[in-house]
Amino acid sequence: TPSAVQKIKQLLKDKPEHVGMKVGVRTRGCNGLSYTLEYTKSKGDSDEEVVQDGVRVFIEKKAQLTLLGTEMDYVEDKLSSEFVFNNPNIKGTCGCGESFNI
């Protein structure tokens, strides 16, 4: 989303050695999987690259099918600010929202 693009641009401004953000999934939490998001200095050999408005996001190979069709957003309210993933493939989530299953 435009909000996520702006936030990533802001985060990368202070990290000139990094070329973008890498998104993945890890086995963790009470429901099986959770998202990972980290700075990256290069595109991995099997990463899928998505470029939007000059922002580069790399998707790890093992996460590509899990994240197919997913929208990444950045949401701020009075108590928190976070990246949110709107994933149409999710079949269930845990009560705290930290993990999901497909």
Residue range 47-56, pLDDT digits in tens = 999 999 999 9
Lowest mean pLDDT among 47-51, 74-78, 92-96: 92-96
Cα torsion 19, 25, 28, 34 to 10°: value is: 90
Q: Is the distance from CB of 21 to CB of 8 less than 8 angstroms?
A: yes
Query: d(Cα 89, Cα 59) in Å, to the nearest integer?
Result: 16
Distances (CA, A) of 36 to 24, 46, 57, 65: 5, 17, 12, 15
Q: Is the distance from CB of 82 to CB of 18 less than 8 angstroms?
A: no
The pTM assigned to this predicted structure is: 0.81
Choosing among 2.60.300.12, 3.30.1490.100, 3.40.50.300, 3.40.50.80, the CATH entry for 2-90 is 2.60.300.12
